[in-house]
């Protein structure tokens, strides 16, 4: 398999109107930018239009400058909000974790191998347990213990660190704390959470053991954006794995953790590759 070409990415959203695709594609062609891939969606439910384009500037910086100059007035006519992402951009990600290491370990592996184009300036945890894992990867590990009484101060420090390190994305890689409404509101739309998805739903302690007792046939995971309903934010990706009577609680836990890791990694990749668009409390996700 060859190395995937790194391309410029254009993303844009605006109200649904005739001519939106033309405004984008004509601007790219006229400025000599070659379109490699294009996805668009017109959402009848919200009246919102979304488009994502991967392109190659044939004239280098000149093509990029001309594209900006041509698109700007056209986009204004459609009330279009647009963004360009450079091919070499690495999204700065703060990872929050508690004691479970499977999601963190998976993300760090994909980061180390270059599969995820991210930079991780720090890992934040309410427990010291995963310090050695962070040290092995050479990433600062900030231990911020929390109790119900100290949650406001702890979250204030978390928010300070996120801003200090200019993080563009926060990933809750099995961070086993319920965020306050204030913190969830701050992270609305740019923090990703992961949790198990079992049917029927099992809440509380040892959900996989509860699921085994009911003889579940599927285990799964859901990755979604954080909002003021922590586990009910807009869904980005979901994963599922079939199980049967031969799987004991420990087997369900292992399979569930594997699905959680893969589902979270896919959600992070979709986000950093600008494949996810928020339409109210739903997402439009353009697959690769």
β-pair partners for 122: 94
Same-domain pairing of 31 and 135: no
3-state secondary structure 144-165: CCCCCCCHHHHHHHHHHHHHHC
Q: What is the DSSP string of 107-157?
A: HHHHHHTTSS-EEEEEEEESSSTTHHHHHHTT--EEE----TTTHHHHHHH
267 contacts 33 by C-beta, under 8 angstroms: no
Confidence label for 245 from pLDDT (cuts 50, 70 and 90): very high
Question: Mean pLDDT over residues 194-199, rounded?
Answer: 82
Residues listed for the chain = 288
Q: Which residues are catalytic?
A: 231
What is the overall mean pLDDT for the chain?
Answer: 94
Domain count, the chain: 2
Question: CB–CB of 238/286 below 8 Å?
Answer: no
Q: Are residues 167 and 39 in the same domain?
A: no
Where is pLDDT greater, at 227 or 268?
268
Examine residue 132 and say whether the peptide bond preceding it is cis (omega within 30 degrees of 0).
Answer: no
Domain check: are 157 and 55 in the same one? no
Whole-number Å distance between alpha carbons of 116 and 119: 9
Query: What CATH number did the domain enclosing 249 receive?
Result: 3.40.50.170
Alpha-carbon distance of 191 to 188, in angstroms, equals 7
Residue 254 pLDDT exceeds 90: yes
Residue 1: pLDDT over 50: no
Domain edge (last residue) among 85, 112, 136 = 85
Compute the average pLDDT of residues 242-250.
93
What is residue 247's predicted lDDT score, i.e. its pLDDT?
94
pLDDT digits (tens, 9 = 90+) for 125-179: 999 999 999 999 999 999 999 999 999 999 999 999 999 999 999 999 999 999 9
- Is 3 within a domain? no
Distance CA 70, CA 33 (A): 12
Global pTM value: 0.94
Are 53 and 188 part of one and the same domain? no
197 and 100 fall within a common domain: yes
pLDDT at 36 over 60: yes
Domain hosting 265: range is 91-285
Q: Is residue 219 a contact partner of residue 256, using CB atoms and an 8 Å limit? A: yes
> In Å, how far from its chain's centre is CA 178?
19
Mean of the pLDDT values across residues 223-228? Answer: 91
Q: What is the DSSP letter of 286?
A: -
Predicted pLDDT at 288: 87
pLDDT band (50, 70, 90) for residue 200:
confident
Q: Tell me: do 125 and 58 sit in the same domain.
A: no
Contact between 43 and 279 under an 8 Å Cβ cutoff? The reply is: yes
Choose among 116, 114, 162, 112: nearest CA to 133. 112
């Amino acid at each position: 398999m060859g190395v995937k070409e790194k391309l410029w990415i254009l993303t844009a959203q605006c109200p649904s109107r005739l001519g939106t695709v033309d405004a984008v594609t004509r601007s790219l062609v006229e400025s000599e930018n070659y379109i490699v891939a294009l996805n668009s969606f017109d959402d009848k439910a919200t009246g919102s239009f979304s488009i994502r384009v991967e392109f190659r500037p044939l004239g280098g910086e000149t093509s990029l400058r001309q594209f900006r100059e041509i698109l700007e007035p056209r986009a204004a006519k459609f009330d279009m909000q647009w963004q360009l992402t450079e091919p070499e951009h690495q999204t700065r990600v703060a990872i929050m974790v508690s004691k479970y290491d499977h999601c963190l370990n998976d993300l760090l592996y994909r980061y180390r191998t270059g599969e995820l184009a991210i930079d991780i300036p720090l890992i934040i945890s309410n427990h010291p347990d995963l310090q050695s894992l962070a040290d092995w990867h050479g990433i600062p590990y900030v231990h911020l213990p929390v109790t119900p009484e100290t949650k406001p101060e702890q979250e204030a420090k978390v928010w300070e660190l996120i801003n200090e390190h200019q993080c563009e994305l926060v990933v809750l890689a099995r961070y086993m704390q319920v965020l306050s409404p204030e913190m969830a509101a701050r992270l609305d739309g740019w923090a990703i959470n992961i949790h198990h998805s079992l049917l029927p739903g099992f809440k509380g302690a040892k959900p996989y053991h509860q699921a085994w007792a009911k003889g579940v046939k599927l285990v799964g995971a859901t990755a979604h954006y954080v909002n003021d309903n922590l586990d009910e934010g807009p869904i980005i990706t979901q994963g599922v794995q079939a199980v049967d009577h031969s799987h004991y609680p420990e087997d369900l836990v292992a399979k569930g953790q594997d699905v959680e890791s893969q589902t979270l990694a896919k959600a992070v990749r979709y986000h950093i590759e600008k494949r996810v668009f928020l339409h109210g409390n739903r997402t439009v996700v353009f697959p690769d």
